Structure formats: structure tokens, C-alpha cells
């Protein structure tokens, strides 16, 4: 163990003890916590507060090492086999006990039992496991997943299964841009849902899983996505807040649209046409929210939070990273799905791409936009991603204007005040939008954006002006209504 690592301070995977406690239980909590997590080392012979090397009694050091090994073997269930070794630091000898990540979780102190004796490592401290985390450890130890478990006290009919199959395909088609690719999208069947883990077949009967309940919005206590805008760079002053309910795919899309409405928009000219450009890469925003939904812990009772500050977009999902998943690995493209059934359904609906590609693309997109590197944080039972905004002389004013107005005024004000915006160049786009409304009265804003190659926010801006001027009117719901052209 290198000295620079040895003296890096207590963390998730290292703890110091000045001596071996008389009662082994005092360090056995850390032993099982390391085995339940990503492993770690306990170093005996170092003062934890000052990092002073005290050393161990060399005359009895081998006896002490045997005692540590036997104590771990006798005290822990399932069995934990540590690597116990000596290391000389500054002419003094310390004992380094390495605990490896276990495959038979949960590990616990035998005398306390599984419910009272299971511990985990959080933010450099050893804590008694919470109920939801214990359930996740139990599933993980059996190589099972919460989203693929049968949803208790829930019955489904054949028509409800068919309705979900139809809804998933419709979403996949909406999220596919090219007509040539739309025709390749296959129907979803009952057997496909079973293969994904959205349904489960036992004893000749089909049962809904937790993934089914979440995808249909029927989970008891269905989690929501909380969105908010804050003035400044902390949560001291709320300016706007929303909660989005419904199925998890509907929540994801609503949260994504909310962020687009609140961030700044500029423009660029490509050839003869003006194109709206958001200050943050929209594909990355969408994928970060989608990943939070697909990979969060649904055993933890918290909600996904999407927060916009003057300097950053912050997305927090409940549940710390799974074992064997690190931030370094994620940046390199490694991924291990916590909810594989949901991930498969999301991949079919074109909501997420192949597992593991989102984070590398996020870093590449931010570099292309000239933004600071994103920040990935695994902390206190949650996982957070910060995407930083550009700061210039107008950022604070523009952000304040955005967050204090409603959606319609927000897009209009934000676009009209931008120095680079010239609405006269939009005449052709407005005409194209009206023509599409006339040809396809039931067309949605998103479909207009896809067919014209414009941003959703830009199309909404034009439509809001057309509505205000009395040129067009939308009758009915946003998904099933129709457009009426008055002039």
C-alpha cells in the first residue's frame, strides 16, 4: 500500500485505528460495511485524527494478525476472508487489513443478526443500513433486481397489457426522426415484455413486475420528478418549482421540456436559415434525466430532483452507485444497470442509447459547446451530475428573466432580448409551420420540430406568437387536439 494512499485520510475505502480494540465489534462494523460496498482497508497503528504513525508491537504482531483474522472469521456472516499484512512506515510497522467486495451480500455481524448487524460505508463513515438499502443488498446478493420482481397486490388484464405494448411502440415512433427507421420498429408483444422483465410468468400465469407498474404509472406511492429553479448558486431562494407525475417515461419527458423552457436560447445561421441553439446541449440534458429515471434506486423513497441555478444544471437521483461501478469507470463508458427491465424498455422507446455511452457523450458535448467539464458526485446515498452553464455579462440577467416568467413569456422574452436574434429571418419557418398544421391538423409540437429540423423550444416560440396574433388556435389536449388556422 503506497504511503500517499495510506495517508490520504479516512474515506469510503480506508479507516485508521491506533490499536486493535479489545472488543472486535468496534471494528467489525467497518469490516462488514466494506464487504457490503466496494471493499476497503483498515490500518492498525495510525492515529485517525493526526495520521501519526504509532506502529504496532513487533514482538506480538503475528499473534495480533492471527487474532484479527480469527475475529473476522468468527464474527461475520457470510464468511469474510480478509488479506492481513504488515507494512513498514517510517521505521514503524502497521497492520493493513484489506476487505474485498463480497458477492453474497448482505454481510452482517453474526451476533446482532441480519437486520441489526448490517452496515454500509457512506461518505467515509460506517452506518447502520437503512431498510431500503438492506432490501437492495439482499436482491443483489441473489443476482435479482427490484424492477423485475413481481409487483404485489396488482392485477392486470390482457387489454391492459396490449395497451402498454401499443403505448411503448407509439413512443418509440415519436422518438424516431427518419421515416425509414420508423417502419423498422417492431411491435411489442407479451413475450417481449416477459423477456425484458416487465412481466413475469410463473405457474402458467403472467404477473406484472415493478417495472410494469412504473411504466404505467400504477406503482403504489409512484415517485415523481421534482424540478426547480433557484436564484443564485444555492437553494436559498426558490423562484419556480414543479412536480411531474404519471408514468416514468412521461415524467422524464415533462422534466426535459421544463429545463428547455428555463434555460437561455441563442441562434446561429446555417446557410439561409436561422436555427435556435440552447446554451446547454439538449441531447445531454435529455439523456441525463433519462439515465436518472432508468438507474435510480426505486427502493429508496426519495425523488429525482432537477435543479437549475445561475451557474449549473443539477440532476440528483436516489441511490448511490452500485458496487463495482465507479465515477472513473463511468467516464470511460462502463455501465451496470440497476433496473435492467426499465433500461430495456427505455432503449426500445429511443429514450436512452446503449448502456454506458451517455456519460462519455456528455463530456464530449460539453467540450464542443465550450462549457466546463461536468461534475459527477457520489455522495451520502445519492448520485448527482452537474452540467455547468457559461457565465458572461448577460447570463445573470437572462436567467433571472427566464425564471420569473411563465413558459410562454419566458421563451418570447428570452429570444427577443438576445442580441443575435433577428425575428425577420423566421418568416419562412413560420410559413412552414402553418403549412404543416394545415396538412396535418393533429400534428404535435414535437413532430413539427422533427419534420422541420428545428428545436422544440423554437417551434413553441413561433406558435405562441401565432396564437397571440390570433392566426392559429389549438382545440383539445396537447396530444390529441387539432389545429385551426384562422388566417
Q: What is the tens place of the pLDDT at every residue in 267-322?
A: 666 666 666 789 999 999 999 999 999 999 999 989 999 999 999 999 999 998 88
Domains recognised in the chain with CATH numbers = 3-142 (3.30.950.30), 147-216 (no CATH), 225-388 (3.30.565.60), 422-485 (1.10.10.10)
Using CA atoms, how far apart are residues 466 and 454, in angstroms rounded to an integer? 17
Q: What is the spatial distance between Cα 77 and Cα 167, in angstroms, rounded to a whole number? A: 46
Asked if residues 251 and 224 have their Cβ atoms less than 8 Å apart, the reply is yes
Q: Identify which has the larger pLDDT, 356 or 376.
A: 376
- In which residue are the cell numbers 419556480 written? 240
| Residue % of the chain over a pLDDT of 70 | 87
For the residues 53-75, what does the mean pLDDT come to?
95
Q: Closest by alpha carbon to 50, among 5, 95, 92, 18?
A: 18
Residue 8 CB coordination number (10 Å): 12
Beta carbons of 6 and 16 less than 8 angstroms apart? no
Q: For the chain, percent helix, then strand, then coil, each to nearest 5?
A: 40, 20, 35
Q: What is the pLDDT of residues 95-110, one digit of tens each?
A: 999 999 998 999 999 9
The yes-or-no verdict on residue 397 having pLDDT over 80 is: no
Give the model's pLDDT for residue 3.
Answer: 65
Entry pTM: 0.76
DSSP string, 158-172: HHHHHHHHHHHHHHH
pLDDT at 334: 86
Q: How far apart are CA 287 and CA 358, in angstroms?
A: 7
Q: Give the count of beta carbons closer than 10 Å to the beta carbon of residue 295.
A: 24
Distance between CA atoms of 282 and 337, rounded to whole angstroms? 23
Residue 325 has pLDDT above 90, yes or no: no
Name the burial class of residue 277, with classes exposed (0-12), middle (13-18) and buried (19+) by CB atoms within 10 angstroms of its CB. middle
Amino acid at each position: 500500500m503506497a504511503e500517499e494512499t495510506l495517508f490520504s485520510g479516512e474515506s469510503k475505502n480506508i479507516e485508521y485505528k491506533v490499536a486493535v480494540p479489545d472488543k472486535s465489534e468496534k471494528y467489525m462494523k467497518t469490516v462488514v460495511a466494506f464487504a457490503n460496498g466496494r471493499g476497503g482497508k483498515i490500518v492498525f497503528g495510525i492515529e485517525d485524527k493526526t495520521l501519526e504513525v504509532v506502529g504496532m508491537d513487533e514482538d506480538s504482531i503475528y499473534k495480533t494478525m492471527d487474532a484479527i483474522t480469527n475475529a473476522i472469521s468468527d464474527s461475520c456472516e457470510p464468511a469474510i476472508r480478509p488479506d492481513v499484512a504488515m507494512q513498514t512506515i517510517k521505521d514503524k510497522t502497521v497492520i493493513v487489513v484489506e476487505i474485498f467486495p463480497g458477492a453474497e451480500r448482505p454481510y452482517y455481524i453474526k451476533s446482532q443478526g441480519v437486520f441489526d448487524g448490517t452496515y454500509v460505508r457512506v461518505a467515509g463513515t460506517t452506518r447502520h443500513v437503512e431498510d431500503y438499502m438492506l432490501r437492495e443488498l439482499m436482491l443483489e446478493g441473489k443476482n435479482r433486481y427490484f424492477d423485475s420482481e413481481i409487483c404485489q397486490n396488482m392485477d392486470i388484464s390482457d387489454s391492459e397489457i396490449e395497451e402498454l405494448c401499443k403505448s411503448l411502440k407509439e413512443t418509440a415512433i415519436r422518438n424516431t426522426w427518419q421515416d425509414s427507421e420508423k417502419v423498422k420498429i417492431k411491435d411489442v408483444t407479451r413475450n417481449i415484455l416477459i423477456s425484458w422483465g416487465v412481466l413475469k410468468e410463473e405457474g402458467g400465469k403472467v404477473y406484472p413486475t415493478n417495472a410494469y407498474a412504473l411504466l404505467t404509472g400504477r406503482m403504489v406511492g409512484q415517485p415523481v420528478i421534482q424540478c426547480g429553479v433557484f436564484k443564485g448558486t444555492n437553494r436559498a431562494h426558490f423562484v419556480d418549482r414543479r412536480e411531474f407525475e404519471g408514468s416514468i417515461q412521461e415524467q422524464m419527458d415533462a422534466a426535459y421540456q421544463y429545463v428547455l423552457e428555463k434555460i437561455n436560447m441563442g441562434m446561429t445561421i446555417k446557410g439561409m436559415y436561422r436555427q435556435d441553439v440552447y446554451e446547454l446541449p439538449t441531447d445531454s440534458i435529455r439523456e441525463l434525466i433519462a439515465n436518472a429515471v432508468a438507474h435510480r434506486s426505486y427502493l429508496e423513497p426519495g425523488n429525482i430532483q432537477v435543479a437549475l441555478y445561475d451557474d449549473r444544471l443539477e440532476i440528483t437521483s436516489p441511490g448511490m452507485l452500485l458496487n463495482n461501478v465507479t465515477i472513473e469507470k463511468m467516464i470511460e463508458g462502463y455501465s451496470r444497470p440497476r433496473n435492467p427491465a426499465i433500461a430495456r424498455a427505455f432503449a426500445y422507446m429511443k429514450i436512452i442509447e446503449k448502456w454506458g455511452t451517455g456519460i462519455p457523450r456528455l463530456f464530449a458535448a460539453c467540450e464542443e459547446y465550450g462549457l466546463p467539464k461536468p461534475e459527477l458526485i457520489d455522495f451520502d446515498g445519492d448520485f448527482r451530475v452537474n452540467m455547468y452553464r457559461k457565465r458572461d455579462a448577460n447570463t445573470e440577467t437572462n436567467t433571472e428573466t427566464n425564471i420569473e416568467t411563465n413558459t410562454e413569456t419566458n421563451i418570447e422574452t428570452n429570444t427577443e432580448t438576445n442580441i443575435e436574434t433577428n425575428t425577420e429571418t423566421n418568416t419562412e419557418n413560420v410559413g412552414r409551420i402553418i403549412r404543416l398544421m394545415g396538412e396535418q391538423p393533429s400534428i404535435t409540437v414535437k413532430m413539427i420540430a422533427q419534420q422541420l429540423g428545428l428545436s422544440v423550444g423554437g417551434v413553441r416560440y413561433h406558435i405562441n406568437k401565432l396564437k397571440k396574433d390570433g392566426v392559429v388556435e389549438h382545440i383539445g389536449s396537447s396530444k390529441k387536439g387539432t389545429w385551426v388556422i384562422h388566417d
